[in-house]
Chains A and B, each alone.
Chain A
């Protein structure tokens, strides 16, 4: 397990926390438009980015995620009018904190993807998968388990 980094065929595991109304629907649209993207992402659907607790991200890393994506409606488009603004505030602090303790910025991504931005979703997933592939498995975090 430990030296998976060098192992051929290692695929990163990416956890995505997305809001139900924009990004989830955007990902659906990518499907109905038969676009293709990297299969590494596992989506957890939440009503709104405002529901996303920083703990989710920590928990995802604890459970072996090599990268985490958090995504929701563009500012002004929130189904609940302001949930994403609240989320953005939290992320500003949380992102700084994660950077500060040395979580590589390539492992934690934030994005706005609307229900119509299937292309953006596809590009986003491909881009972060690529980036995380370059970083390799998140052994540092997984190593903490012992």
Chain B
């Protein structure tokens, strides 16, 4: 016979006012297996917990039911208290009689609440009777980390972890690390030059002995679980032997063919063998195979001829590298929503309508114009520039419903950069709201307006068209209630930040959640902002949602600190809420294997003495299993069960209903 203790909490008056806790305790006393019951003012208080421990010892309890607030509040508290009293923590179950009873059923006669509390407590008692002691699962840890994405968030995470003595693998799909931040000219609100603050970090990442860089590479496959992941990295063929190349630049000097530069966002051409930008890390070029005449047609080969160290290798193939790691930081960043979606703004058709990032390149001193702001169409200095905010963002019909967050600030910055470079120029900004929450942000916007004379117009733009070499902007100023028309020389669209096109595919490969746009879901948006539901995988930067550089950097650091604290332990402990297979009755139909969202189920063969497999059955990998129970419901022969939520326990609860 079990020896169960039932503790009914009054929660001051929170429960007591509508539930007669004494009566609940009294009624439970008669249930078989219950040896002690009581009602207490505050179970979660220190005296309450002390009393719990005392009673466990005094009555030699082998199970405890606490009828109190939601298990989401204090399950951990009470389980810990039980553990201290020598009881297996999983032999403590909580009944929620506050959030789901006393607070929602305001019957002052206490009849309703008492009745329901008794039902619920009885169900928990019956469930507890079937409950088994569980042991925390302990796992080894590979103390190496993988960072996916070499933008500022990823670089920061990698540096912080490397500083903490962890070996880090940094994977970047472009030929150089740096990400979108490398494209920016100056940064708000301090107006530091982006490259000036980023480049040292990039170099640091390259030189740090704890960081292994894989540029021009992508994560192909991820297996395993927290502490023990195996990743396969595809190292795309560079056609340049990295170990030989000195980065002298002779090859791209001499290469006779050109293609559009991705980094310069179609504002400039680059050579077919190239580094994305002069400060690239590593400073090793790649050959753009589809455009290379040598690779496509077997003619040319100039780069190979001029290469001193003979680093060019036209025969190079993609390479696959397997790495064992213990944690992953995902920092894949963002891209801009394609402006072509907005036909009324004429992007792509009118040359002088450009995106915000293109403007950054124009303003950047290392950009295609050397920092001169000119019209892409004729190279003339624009005397009137119209900036349109919220292009695609806050537009649930044609774009995305969310606010892209950084555009207000960078548009203000753009107007300043423009004014600083074209003194006689006039900037106009069409905005809906100015969102400048942040340290020194509002002051910055005001400076753009008051000091640098940007004309802010509150309203959207309906149409942009070309007329006599000018770009006509037809919008509204809702503050004056009128239609406005501006003859501009150039129009800059502050386009919405969206997740990378490949974001969803990667999320599925990693088993992490994502929202309808493809931004990755945090474990908890407020309290666990850099963790994901898949333990051991962390997030940083704009792959979570639009954010600016300071936020990205702090998230990179936050993710790094999460990994460091994970790696601080010798062994990992985790909740034992995992599935188990009753192997003799397994049909080996593999339904569970197909249904499992985590690929936590494997096939296992039983061998006879000769080593021939005579029978197959399913096996749960405890490290990977997250305890959702999809397999349990899928299993027809009921040979899988989920610890903590076993069929028997649920059945007992239903039966006590």
Contacts and interface: CB of A to CB of B under 8 A. Distances in A.
Touching chains A and B, CB distance < 8 Å:
yes
A10 interface: no
B634 A86 contact: yes
A13 B104 contact: no
B516 interface: yes
B215 to A, nearest CB: 30
A45 B127 CA distance: 11
Contact of B516 (A34, A59, A76): A76
Contacts, number: 128
B597 A43 contact: no
Given A42-B123, A81-B513, A31 B70 contact: yes
A51 B629 contact: yes
B74 to A, nearest CB: 12
Nearest to B123: A42
Given A39-B116, A81-B597, A51 B654 contact: no
Contact of A63 (B101, B627, B633, B657): B657
Contacts of A28: 70, 72, 96, 99-100
A81 B123 CA distance: 29
B99 A47 contact: no
Given A13-B657, A81-B511, A30 B104 contact: yes
B123 A25 contact: no
B628 interface: yes
B479 to A, nearest CB: 35
Interface in B616-637: 626-630, 632-634
Contact of A39 (B99, B105, B647): B105
Contact of B657 (A30, A35, A60): A60
Contacts of A35: 104
Interface size class of B (residues with CB under 8 A): 35 or more
Contacts of A44: 123, 650, 653-654
Contact of A86 (B119, B515, B595): B595
B99 A46 contact: no
Nearest to B106: A36
A82 interface: yes
Contacts of B629: 46-48, 50-51, 83
Interface residues of A, number: 45
A136 interface: no
B515 A76 contact: yes
Given A47-B577, A51-B629, A63-B654, A27 B99 contact: yes
B633 A31 contact: no
Contact of B654 (A15, A45, A83, A86): A15
B433 to A, nearest CB: 24
A90 interface: yes
Most buried by B among A25, A34, A78, A80: A80
A79 interface: yes
B541 to A, nearest CB: 21
A86 B630 contact: yes
B556 interface: no
A43 B100 contact: yes
Nearest to B98: A31
A79 B533 contact: yes
Contacts of A78: 513
A86 to B, nearest CB: 5
Contacts of B115: 39
Contacts of A48: 628-630
Given A27-B99, A42-B123, A47 B657 contact: no
A31 B103 contact: yes
Interface in A11-56: 13, 15, 24-25, 27-32, 34-37, 39, 42-48, 50-54, 56
A64 interface: yes
B330 to A, nearest CB: 15
A11 to B, nearest CB: 9
B628 A51 contact: yes
Most buried by A among B99, B100, B650: B100
A32 B119 CA distance: 21
Given A44-B653, A76-B516, A80-B533, A50 B104 contact: no
A122 B598 CA distance: 33
A83 B630 contact: yes
B597 A42 contact: no
A76 B119 CA distance: 34
Interface of B: 70-72, 96, 98-101, 103-107, 112-113, 115-116, 119-120, 123, 511-513, 515-516, 533, 577, 595, 597-598, 626-630, 632-634, 642, 644-645, 647, 650-651, 653-655, 657
5 contacts: A28-B100, A31-B100, A39-B112, A53-B632, A81-B597
Given A15-B657, A39-B105, A59-B651, 19 more contacts: A27-B99, A30-B99, A30-B104, A32-B103, A34-B103, A34-B104, A44-B123, A46-B629, A47-B629, A50-B595, A50-B629, A54-B633, A80-B533, A80-B597, A80-B598, A80-B626, A81-B511, A83-B630, A86-B595
The list of the 10 closest CB pairs from A to B, nearest first, reads A51-B629, A31-B99, A50-B630, A80-B628, A31-B103, A28-B99, A48-B628, A39-B105, A53-B633, A82-B597
